[in-house]
Amino acid sequence: MKITAVRSIMGGIPIPGGGFAPAWWPGQVIRDLWFTVCVIETDAGITGFGPGGFRTGGWTGEAFIRKHLLGHDPRTLDIGALAEHPESLPMAKGNRPVALEFALWDLLGKACGQPVYRMLGGYKDSIKAYCSTGSVTDAGSHIDFAHNAIERGYRAIKLRMHRATVDDDLAVVRAVRDAVGDRLEIMADANQAQNPYWTRADALRAARGLQELGATWLEEPLAMHDAEGLAMVAGAVDMPIAGAENEYGMPRYAEFLMRGALDILQPDLEGCGGLLEWRKIAAVCEAYRAPCLGHVWNNGLVVVVALHASCSVPNAPYLEVTDDPFWPARERDLIMAEPLRVVDGMVQVPTGPGWGIELDWDVVRAHTTSEVVVRI
């Protein structure tokens, strides 16, 4: 079996209703639910794929692919060594070829007849999903969507705190709590790692208010460089403080735990440096008895990668599932042959080879805006 071609396919699916206004990005509206898919083809008819492209940052990937992938048998490649290869090491975090790593895992899984989560260890085959919303709207809309989430199988929801005052945010969380009772766990995300505007006093007030409302955690109450401030908030409440979705590399994550700045780490599968880097971070978390939760904001394929990663470690009790009225589950999963399903609060990891899912290539092709192919 030899690798014959590597593709990077990029596209977007229009978001119905005019677009999505992210809480963390005031004033911006995202019109397309974007996707990038990296595909590795072989002469044996087996194809591996994963999220992301290989032209990222200043690194175009072609020379690396020609030298290290094309003509090689995927069963003989050392994925860890390739992911950390000096020629792929980043000048900036975006340069690491995580898409190639993801696609290689899918390919190896298909060649071996095993799901990725099991090849990486395998600790469980399902995980508690939480409905991760991203908009900031009025209390009534959040209550309606919370009920909708319950009907679709969720038992947990994450709300954003990004209004003018902390009291405005707490009022919405309280309204949702009053409406759903204990049918939903409620998480809260302040997204203060991007354009922070909360003071340490705001963060403390939010944390105490949320604890009173029985929230599961508070995410990113301060900028990530303010480790002392985060540690102060984390020490003042029993409710866990979560964060670090925009950081890169295991050593940086270890620092948050050593300094007592965060109780839960949330490395992004792509941004932290890839699947193996994510597992290293999970191992560091284990030493501190801390949960490691995969951060996701994207399409269903990225959620599936996070699902496999989470099921391959003992300390990932929740799966973030991007799901908002303006980032709808239907459009999120359109590039996949089957949508993700939440049943009784849980998502089952696909047990077929590789990621265990198929893409809907008609949908991918219909929405492709650019494609790069490197072939033998």
State the residues that interact with Mg ion by CB under 5 A.
189, 219, 245
Which lies closer to Mg ion via its Cβ, residue 39 or residue 316? 316
- For residue 174, the minimal CB distance to Mg ion (Å) is 21
4, containing H or E segment: strand 3-14
- Helix, strand, or coil here: 320? strand
Which lies closer to Mg ion via its Cβ, residue 114 or residue 298? 298
Q: Determine contact, residues 140/147, Cβ cutoff 8 Å.
A: no
- For residue 251, the minimal CB distance to Mg ion (Å) is 21
Q: Determine contact, residues 346/126, Cβ cutoff 8 Å.
A: yes
Which lies closer to Mg ion via its Cβ, residue 265 or residue 301? 265
Q: Alpha carbon of 294 to those of 127, 137, 280, 283, 349: distances in Å?
A: 12, 25, 13, 13, 14
Q: Where are the alpha helices (DSSP H) in the chain?
A: 62-68, 79-83, 98-112, 116-119, 139-151, 166-180, 200-212, 227-236, 250-258, 275-287, 300-311, 329-332, 361-366
Ranked by CB distance to Mg ion, the top (closest) residue is 189
- For residue 25, the minimal CB distance to Mg ion (Å) is 12
Which lies closer to Mg ion via its Cβ, residue 79 or residue 316? 316
Gap between the Cα atoms of 375 and 35, Å rounded:
22
- For residue 104, the minimal CB distance to Mg ion (Å) is 28
Which lies closer to Mg ion via its Cβ, residue 189 or residue 247? 189
Which lies closer to Mg ion via its Cβ, residue 245 or residue 331? 245
Gap between the Cα atoms of 243 and 339, Å rounded:
28
Pairing relationship of beta strands 156-160 and 126-132 according to DSSP bridges: parallel
- For residue 328, the minimal CB distance to Mg ion (Å) is 19
Pairing relationship of beta strands 346-348 and 156-160 according to DSSP bridges: unpaired
- For residue 354, the minimal CB distance to Mg ion (Å) is 28
- For residue 245, the minimal CB distance to Mg ion (Å) is 5
Which lies closer to Mg ion via its Cβ, residue 244 or residue 250? 244
What does the block give as tokens for 24? Answer: 């963390």
